[in-house]
Amino acid sequence: MQWQQVRANYPNQWLIVEALDAHTDNAQRYLEQLAVIESCQDSKTAFNHYHEWHKNYPEREFYFLHTSKEQLAIVERQWLASANFFQKTAGCLQDTPLEREPQGDYEQRLEPL
């Protein structure tokens, strides 16, 4: 479905949707075809359910949206880490543990009253 069809079928509702066809142009994400995954009673529920869907299916593109929006304005944020950064660096210090250098003397304070 396109966004206008979704809005007509689910007026004034929080939804979790999946982008079936989408593209990015100048950091703006355009969702051409959507599948409605579920309708939620409020934004908190929608966010929590979105989080669960995303955790269980990280390769899929989910959004939580309210159908009061006439047009979707989704700005795509860029990650600073390169692809697979965490997989490549996880455990890289296991053979050379970090050691904290001595921090010097610190002043002795009186016990609180």
Digit-coded pLDDT (tens) for 33-85: 999 999 999 999 999 999 999 999 999 999 999 999 999 989 988 766 666 76
Query: In this structure, what DSSP letter does residue 23 have?
Result: E
Confidence of residue 87 (pLDDT cuts 50, 70, 90): low
Both structure tokens of 8: 């007509």
CB 21, CB 32: distance < 8 Å: yes
pLDDT recorded at residue 25: 92
pLDDT recorded at residue 81: 62
For residue range 11-38, what is the model confidence (pLDDT) as tens digits? 999 999 999 999 999 989 999 999 999 9
Stronger pLDDT, 78 or 1, i.e. the higher one: 1
Is the pTM of the predicted complex or chain greater than 0.95? no
* d(C-alpha 3, C-alpha 21), whole Å: 12
Mean pLDDT of 100-109: 81
